[in-house]
């Protein structure tokens, strides 16, 4: 019997009981669709986070103060006051640091901001002009902080689009408007372009003010919360990190790097951490969805066992007419594989459609891994072989005389 005849006969057999066939295929459709959709969502969320991080600059190092020591316990990184404007100035003027392109001292703190009857709690970031270049911030309307604003402690502010929306709603006349921070009235001089961020440190939900204004007028602070350093290119990131580390250790008179009162991390460090976390999360989602594939496979086996029982006399007649055991096994295996392949193709299409809709709704990049699609189809075929083998073997082992006498 040729393969085409076997496939044609298998298809005609499966269409005899359409409801049973449809229910068997449904389990595979749900399993494959779930695997592809969940893996796609995991990869899309990873890509979205990576895009947000890379939009801040791929060759950026951030120096943060280490937590304050209390006895034998060290506080959380970023919670100390060990970085000063003098540290930033020293880094700028140091002739030994040859891999640094630009430096941006920063002071950030969350605060309540009001504008008329509206208010929001957002991140206030004290910056100098180079902040916009290093952090890839662009201004949609108005202007950014200037050197003159920093030198004369100007009470001006540049709003992120989310902060602007929270404070002024849909108003388009934002320049010249007033906002109140820590009891001080500041004038809006610009609104930044959206970077599509989210979360606690969303650059769209921030207000930028002159560094001197943030430190001396708004919050009364003499320290920095971070220093952003832009390396000349991404290839010298490690060298730049080492240069800054040894320079600050010497400046702070610390001989043992383990006792450093600052931490340095790069965008690559964040990307690697995010990739590991989201990769694990995606694998977990795929594993959970794969359980439904197992259930679908068991459903296929049950359907095939029922089919063997119903077609016992047919099997006996075939064997009496000389059909070999291998042919019987091939026939039933083909039916099981066809069920799973059809379910796999429909499930693949359904999974892609669902993931596309969800990523559009959640404003994430649509990502489909060809590997996950190939794997899903391969697994569906494998399930057909795995769970179709036992019913096929059971049918082939029937004795012709007993099968023909079966009622």
- Most confidently predicted of 41-45, 80-84, 242-246: 242-246
Residues 222 and 121 reside in one and the same domain: yes
Structure tokens at 150: 């920093």
**Average pLDDT, integer, range 67-89:** 61
Residues 124 and 192 reside in one and the same domain: yes
Q: Does residue 267 belong to any structural domain of this protein?
A: no
**Average pLDDT, integer, range 184-210:** 85
Residues 116 and 211 reside in one and the same domain: yes
Residues 185 and 239 reside in one and the same domain: yes
pLDDT of residue 57: 61
Structure tokens at 173: 């006349």
pLDDT digits (tens, 9 = 90+) for 294-322: 777 777 777 777 777 777 777 777 777 77
Burial class (CB in 10 A: 0-12, 13-18, 19+), 147: exposed
pLDDT of residue 359: 85
**pLDDT bucket at 46, cuts 50 / 70 / 90:** confident
**pLDDT bucket at 277, cuts 50 / 70 / 90:** confident
Residues 290 and 239 reside in one and the same domain: no
Q: Are 64 and 58 in contact (CB under 8 A)?
A: no
Q: Does residue 73 belong to any structural domain of this protein?
A: no
pLDDT of residue 56: 60
Residues 290 and 378 reside in one and the same domain: yes
Residues 99 and 22 reside in one and the same domain: no
Number of domains in the chain: 2
Q: Does residue 78 belong to any structural domain of this protein?
A: no
- Most confidently predicted of 288-302, 305-319, 333-347, 360-374: 333-347
- Most confidently predicted of 21-35, 113-127, 320-334, 384-398: 113-127
Which of 232, 260, 288 is the last residue before a domain boundary? 260
- In whole angstroms, give the CA distance from residue 134 to residue 129: 10
Q: Does residue 268 belong to any structural domain of this protein?
A: no
User: pTM of the entire structure?
Assistant: 0.62
Residues 309 and 245 reside in one and the same domain: no
Please list, residue by residue across 72-99, b when 16 or more beta carbons sit within 10 angstroms of its beta carbon and e when fewer do.
eeeeeebebebbbbebbeebbeeeebeb
Domain housing 171: 83-260
Structure tokens at 214: 């943030």
Q: Does residue 177 belong to any structural domain of this protein?
A: yes
Indicate if the pLDDT at residue 65 is higher than 70.
Answer: yes
> Across all residues in the chain, what is the average pLDDT?
82
Q: Does residue 152 belong to any structural domain of this protein?
A: yes
**pLDDT bucket at 123, cuts 50 / 70 / 90:** very high
Which of 225, 260, 295 is the last residue before a domain boundary? 260
Which of 260, 294, 313 is the last residue before a domain boundary? 260
Higher pLDDT, 161 or 401: 161
Percent of the chain with pLDDT over 90: 30
Least confident of 41-45, 119-123, 206-210: 41-45
Least confident of 83-97, 177-191, 209-223, 362-376: 362-376
- In whole angstroms, give the CA distance from residue 313 to residue 1: 20
pLDDT of residue 197: 59
Residues 130 and 245 reside in one and the same domain: yes
- In whole angstroms, give the CA distance from residue 55 to residue 269: 15
pLDDT of residue 54: 63
Secondary structure letter of residue 129 according to DSSP: T
Residues 159 and 16 reside in one and the same domain: no
pLDDT of residue 67: 54
Q: Are 87 and 64 in contact (CB under 8 A)?
A: no
Residues 205 and 343 reside in one and the same domain: no
**Average pLDDT, integer, range 221-232:** 91
Q: Does residue 74 belong to any structural domain of this protein?
A: no
Residues 40 and 126 reside in one and the same domain: no
**Average pLDDT, integer, range 350-372:** 83
Indicate if the pLDDT at residue 27 is higher than 90.
Answer: no
Q: Does residue 77 belong to any structural domain of this protein?
A: no
């Amino acid at each position: 019997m040729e393969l085409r005849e076997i496939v044609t006969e298998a298809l005609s057999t499966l269409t005899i009981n359409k409801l049973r066939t449809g229910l068997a295929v449904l389990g595979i459709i749900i399993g494959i669709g779930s695997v592809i959709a969940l893996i796609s969502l995991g990869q899309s969320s990873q890509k979205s986070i990576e895009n947000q991080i890379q939009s801040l600059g791929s060759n950026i190092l951030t120096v943060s103060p280490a937590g304050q020591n209390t006895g034998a316990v060290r506080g959380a990184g970023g919670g100390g006051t060990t970085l000063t404007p003098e540290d930033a100035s020293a880094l700028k003027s140091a002739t030994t640091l040859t891999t640094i392109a630009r430096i941006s001292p920063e002071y950030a703190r969350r605060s309540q901001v009001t504008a008329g009857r509206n208010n929001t709690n957002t991140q206030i970031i004290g910056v100098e002009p180079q902040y916009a270049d290093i952090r890839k911030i662009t201004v949609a309307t108005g202007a950014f902080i200037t050197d003159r604003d920093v030198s004369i402690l100007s009470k001006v502010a540049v709003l992120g689009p989310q902060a602007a929306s929270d404070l002024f709603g849909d108003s388009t006349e934002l320049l010249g408007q007033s906002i109140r921070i820590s009891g001080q009235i500041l004038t809006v001089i610009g609104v930044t372009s959206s970077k599509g961020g989210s979360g606690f440190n969303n650059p769209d939900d921030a207000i930028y003010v002159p560094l001197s204004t943030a430190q001396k007028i708004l919050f009364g602070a003499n320290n920095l919360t971070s220093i952003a350093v832009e390396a000349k290119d991404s290839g010298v990131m490690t060298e730049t990190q080492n240069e800054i580390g040894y320079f600050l250790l010497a400046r702070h008179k610390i001989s043992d790097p383990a006792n450093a009162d600052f931490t340095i991390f790069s965008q690559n460090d964040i990307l690697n951490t995010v990739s590991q976390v989201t990769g694990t999360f995606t694998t977990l989602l795929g594993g959970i969805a794969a359980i439904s594939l197992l259930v679908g496979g068991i459903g296929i086996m049950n359907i095939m066992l029922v089919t063997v029982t119903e077609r016992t006399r047919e099997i006996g007649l075939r064997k009496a007419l000389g059909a070999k055991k291998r042919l019987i096994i091939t026939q039933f295996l083909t039916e099981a594989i066809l069920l799973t392949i059809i379910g796999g193709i429909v499930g693949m299409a359904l999974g892609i459609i669902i993931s596309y809709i969800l990523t559009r709704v959640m404003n994430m990049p649509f990502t489909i891994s060809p590997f996950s699609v190939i794997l899903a189809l391969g697994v569906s075929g494998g399930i057909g072989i795995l769970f179709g083998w036992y019913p096929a073997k059971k049918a082939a082992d029937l004795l012709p005389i007993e099968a023909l006498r079966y009622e």
